Amino acid sequence: MEAIVITGAGTGLGKELARLYAEKGYAVILLGRRESPLLSVQQEIEANGGTAFVYPLDIRRYDEVSETAKTILKKHRVTCLVNNAGIGYFGPLSSLSHEQIADMIATNINGTIYMTKAFLPYFRLLPKAKIINIISTAGLRGKVNESVYVATKFAIRGFSESLVKELDQTNISVTAVYMGGMETPFWKGSDHIQDRSRLRSPRQVAEQIVAQENGQPEIIIE
Ligand SMILES: NC(=O)c1ccc[n+]([C@@H]2O[C@H](COP(=O)([O-])OP(=O)(O)OC[C@H]3O[C@@H](n4cnc5c(N)ncnc54)[C@H](OP(=O)(O)O)[C@@H]3O)[C@@H](O)[C@H]2O)c1
């Protein structure tokens, strides 16, 4: 059974992607820091006849990512990595704390790079493998009160575009996904979005990603 690794799979878009890829017949490897949301996604997938495994992991920690990847790769035939986990703090730059800035960089940039580096050598040995990086329209253009978040998403856009070139002529495809706002726990405790009614459902966005992804370098869902 082919397996797909999804970071941030306990909530929001990651949870919807996990449900859909399980329906497509993948064994879904659910990653995130908190075990309980991951376990409920696992239970739901299994109740619907799918297969899922839980590995709690903080993607900001390089050693933890390397060790967990080794453990996963010993047990599962992983052919796809979805770098979905991400966080955002919003407001004028002067309002952001040092911790918030460091946390966005550590999660959105370092975490995505660490995960990709951990799986890439193994992917090179496979006939076909995919990396899908969940970015945002914040990776396409600057936005008011989103300076650091946008900076992290531009970084992953650069990372993705460069990997597409580095891995050209190999068996590994890299797809960057740029989507607009979604109604997920991402916005909990934030008043950055005034009108939440314009946010899309993560289910709808996940369906578009799963339907469209076919190894192309980018998907834009505005
Ligand atoms: N919501 C939007 O409007 C929107 C729009 C465009 C793009 N995006 C992007 O879509 C992705 C998914 O976001 P979402 O909206 O689904 O938000 P979400 O529900 O808050 O999901 C983010 C997930 O990432 C996990 N995570 C955070 N830090 C982590 C870490 N250090 N290690 C491992 N897992 C970590 C969280 O679980 P734990 O806290 O348990 O670790 C959570 O399950 C993010 O990259 C976000 O930037 C969101």
Q: Is 149 a catalytic residue?
A: yes
Catalytic residue among 26, 114, 149, 178: 149
Q: What is the mean pLDDT of the chain?
A: 98
**Structure-derived torsion over alpha carbons of residues 158, 206, 210, 54, reported in degrees to the nearest 10:** 90
Domains of the chain: 2-221 (3.40.50.720)
Mean pLDDT across 213-219: 97
What is d(CA 36, CA 14) in angstroms, rounded to the nearest whole number? 15
pLDDT band of residue 39 (cuts 50, 70, 90) is very high
Closest atom of ligand 1 relative to the 153 alpha carbon? 47
Whether the Cβ atoms of residue 53 and residue 4 lie closer than 8 Å to each other? no
Residue with tokens 């770098």: 83
Q: Mind listing the pLDDT tens digit for each residue in 90-149?
A: 999 999 999 999 999 999 999 999 999 999 999 999 999 999 999 999 999 999 999 999
86 CA to centre of ligand 1 in angstroms: 4
Which residues sit with their C-beta closer than 6 Å to ligand 1? 7-8, 10-14, 32-34, 57-60, 84-88, 107, 111, 134, 136, 179, 181-182, 184-186, 202
Quote the ligand 1 centre to 84 CA distance (angstroms): 6
* β pairing state of 77-83 and 2-7: parallel
Separation between Cα atoms, residue 217 and residue 115, nearest integer Å: 19
**pLDDT digits 0-9 by tens, 161-183:** 999 999 999 999 999 999 999 99
| pLDDT, average across residues 28-39 | 98
Question: Would you give the distance in Å from CA 82 to the centre of its chain?
Answer: 5
Widest CA span of the chain, in angstroms? 49
Task: Tell me the C-alpha distance between 140 and 154, whole Å.
Answer: 7
Q: pLDDT grade, residue 67 (50/70/90)?
A: very high
Residue 127 CA to ligand 1 centre (angstroms): 30
Distance of CA 133 to the CA centre of its chain: 6
